Amino acid sequence: MSSTLKSTLHPATLAAQANGLLDDGTGGVVPPIHPSTTFVRGEDYAPVVEGNVYSRSAAPNGRMVEGVLAQLEGAQDAMVFPSGMAAVAAVFRTLPSGATVLVQSQIYWGTTAWIRDFCTRRSITLIEVEASNSDVFAAACRAHKPALAWIETPSNPWLRIVDISACAQAVHAAKGVLVADMTTATPVLTRALDFGADIVMHSATKGLNGHSDVLAGALSAADEGSEMWQAIRMDRDMAGAVLGPFEAWLLLRGMRTLPLRVERMSSNAQTLAEYLSDHPAVEAVLYPGLPTHVGHELAQQQMKGGFGPLLSFVVKGEAKAALAAVARLKLFHRATSLGGVESLVEHRHTIEPHTGIPEGLLRLSVGIEDGGDLMDDLGQALGQ
């Protein structure tokens, strides 16, 4: 595949073709798995294959995934990790003790909890701010001059939309770095680097892989030569936070259908959001695809081709009514995660009882099933 052609290809083609990867040894259209942990050197002791020395620093299957992801993100470089939280940790471990960080409030609870603990242990000043309010976020940047700012859009489970460009301008004016968690959107819907983010993070366990069978994380960088990116790479290589070859192979396989899956999941989620918004048993629906959503216009500007698979809604009657509805669902599995081909439901107040989550809030990860079947299941569970 020529470099000229690569630059013009759409995400669906890049993903399906795995950025042109083949099994050169056999002519197979599927790239092989390379389980080797170490690689031979020639008589002059130079690596027989450049870059292949020891799999803790670099491994063929990991590089395959990174190459495809970098193309999808419009990034100069990408790195994969054994989990999304390992990717989060790799970013924050680059910060010196005494630094200041700005983190969006009410994002994925696992991220928030880990960052709070890490900052306490490292004497890092942590400022949490409502980043969906660009003025508040900009004011916090001016006041605190953060070395790093962390945003998530759409946020989990509140589905708040953050103006990436506005945040990037504010952070850069303070000489800081902006990292965006784009797990919910995936690069199919939003390429945050195009809006000024410096680094993008994904829990690749979710939409990138999409089959609930791989634990992985990923980072992509606008500038592979930046000081922070080089520090992240050194940390990963030395600390060994690498993705195994089989997991990388599975992740690449999952990514080949990413655009197709995201399109179907977004369409289904839109259908369900519209249905639930008129349901008498529902108090509120949180989905950026609805015109009533406070971030709808911004989401239209930042998200192309849909609004993602994540949907939250509040059932009237608080926890008792919400849990009763969940118990009656037949197609939505009661499980934690998002972005998979199967639809999931989660009662977030049970998971995060002390974080301000409404007792009646249910979070849906909408899959690729028939949208009508999913709507019927919700209908019978809520009482039509």
Give all domains of the chain, ordered by start, each with its CATH number.
Answer: 3-255 (3.40.640.10), 259-382 (3.90.1150.10)
Helices (H), the chain: 3-6, 11-16, 60-73, 84-92, 109-121, 134-144, 164-173, 186-189, 227-239, 245-255, 258-277, 296-302, 318-328, 348-351, 371-382
CA 307 – CA 289 distance, rounded (Å): 6
CA 260 – CA 221 distance, rounded (Å): 25
The rounded percent of the chain whose pLDDT value lies above 90 is: 90
Annotated catalytic residue 108: yes
pLDDT band at 186 (very low <50, low <70, confident <90, very high): very high
- Helix (H) / strand (E) element for 217: namely strand 217-221
Asked if the model's pLDDT at residue 4 lies above 60, the reply is: no
Q: What is the mean pLDDT of residues 175-202?
A: 98
Question: Which phi and psi (to 5°) does residue 265 adopt?
Answer: -65, -40
Q: What is the mean pLDDT of residues 340-368?
A: 94
Tokens of 199: 């680094």
pLDDT band at 351 (very low <50, low <70, confident <90, very high): confident
Cα 146 to the center of its chain, rounded Å: 23
Q: What is the pLDDT of residue 187?
A: 98
Rounded to whole angstroms, what are the CA distances from 249 to 59, 60, 96, 105, 253? 11, 10, 35, 34, 6
Q: What is the pLDDT of residue 27?
A: 87
Mean pLDDT for all residues in the chain: 95
Q: What is the pLDDT of residue 354?
A: 81
Condensed to tens digits (0 to 9), the pLDDT of residues 272-306 reads 999 999 999 999 999 999 999 999 999 999 999 99
Asked if the model's pLDDT at residue 169 lies above 60, the reply is: yes
Buried-exposed string 180-198: b where 16+ CB fall within 10 A, e elsewhere: bbbbbbbbbbbbbbebbbb
Tokens of 71: 């193309």
- Helix (H) / strand (E) element for 81: namely strand 77-81
Give the active site residue among 77, 163, 181, 377.
181
Interhelix angle 245-255/60-73, nearest 10 degrees: 30
Q: What is the mean pLDDT of residues 55-75?
A: 94
Asked if the model's pLDDT at residue 81 lies above 70, the reply is: yes
Question: Which phi and psi (to 5°) does residue 199 adopt?
Answer: -140, 140
Q: What is the pLDDT of residue 2?
A: 45
Asked if the model's pLDDT at residue 228 lies above 50, the reply is: yes
Among 21-35, 247-261, 309-323, the range scoring the smallest mean pLDDT is 21-35
DSSP 119-180: HHHTT-EEEEE-TTSHHHHHHHHHHH--SEEEEESS-TTT-----HHHHHHHHHHTT-EEEE
Q: What is the pLDDT of residue 123?
A: 97
Condensed to tens digits (0 to 9), the pLDDT of residues 124-161 reads 999 999 999 999 999 999 999 999 999 999 999 999 99
Give the active site residue among 108, 233, 261, 348.
108
Amino acid at 313: F
Angle at 234 between CA 46 and CA 49, to 5 degrees: 25
Give the active site residue among 160, 191, 206, 253.
206
